[in-house]
Amino acid sequence: MAYSQGFSPHPKVSWVGAAPTGVASEAEYVEVSVVEEVDPEALRTALDEALPPGIDVVDIVQAKGGNLTERIDASEWRIELDGVEPEKLAQAVGAFLAEESVEVERLTKSGTKMLDVRPAVVSALVEPRSSDAGHDEAGMSQPCGILMTVVRQVTPTVRPDDVLNALRVVADLVPPVPARATRMAQGRLDGEGRLVDPLQQDKES
């Protein structure tokens, strides 16, 4: 592994758009600089052996050029809201999308600041989770609305909880229990607002 120069060298490892604290993720990307060329599969195996259970290296490629940060400008999130009817969630999402600006409060180290969430949200749609069997996979019998949303990686970062706060602002939607957010994908937006695999150019070259 390559290290930085200076009095206190650090390994050259860079997480791209690391997920916020308290959320799950199926799509994290990391760049690792090495001092000499290595077999990507051997590196993947070594990393997998060193990582704790549940954190798996899904894919690894040798970068052919271009900073990974420049290839990722949005994330797709799955947000599960137990106890919220899909129809009610859809109404709130519709109200949110109809607005040009929706500001929420963000608590920072320097105090409370206002954050406009709407410009960062590329798309949002609701998928109902079936409860015909009477219980979902977590053993619950209540309804659950599932929000799939693509959010630009802007500064300051718009997080899943900011999106939920925006739904509260426009539609007074307050889930009875904390929502579960999972990042499903990261990538660059194409002309239709879909995410393109940031490693695609390395796989094809």
Q: DSSP letters of the chain? A: --B--SSS--B-EEEESPPPTT-EES--EEEE--SS---HHHHHHHHHHHSPTT----------SS-GGGG--EEEEEEEEET--HHHHHHHHHHHHT-S--EEEEEETTEEEEEE-GGGEEEEEEEEPP-TTSS-TTS--S-EEEEEEEEE--SSPPPHHHHHHHHHHHH----SS--EEEEEEEEEE-TTSPEEPTTHHHHH-
The whole-number pLDDT of residue 133 equals: 40
Determine the pLDDT at residue 196. 86
pLDDT band at 130 (very low <50, low <70, confident <90, very high): low
Residue-level pLDDT at 142:
76
pLDDT at 10 over 50: yes
Specify the pLDDT at position 128: 63
Q: What is the pTM of this model?
A: 0.85
Q: Which CATH architecture has domain 73-189?
A: 2-Layer Sandwich (3.30)
The domain ranges of the chain are 13-69+196-204, 73-189
Per-residue model confidence as pLDDT tens digits over 53-99: 988 998 898 888 777 888 889 999 999 999 999 999 999 999 999 99
Confidence of residue 129 (pLDDT cuts 50, 70, 90): low
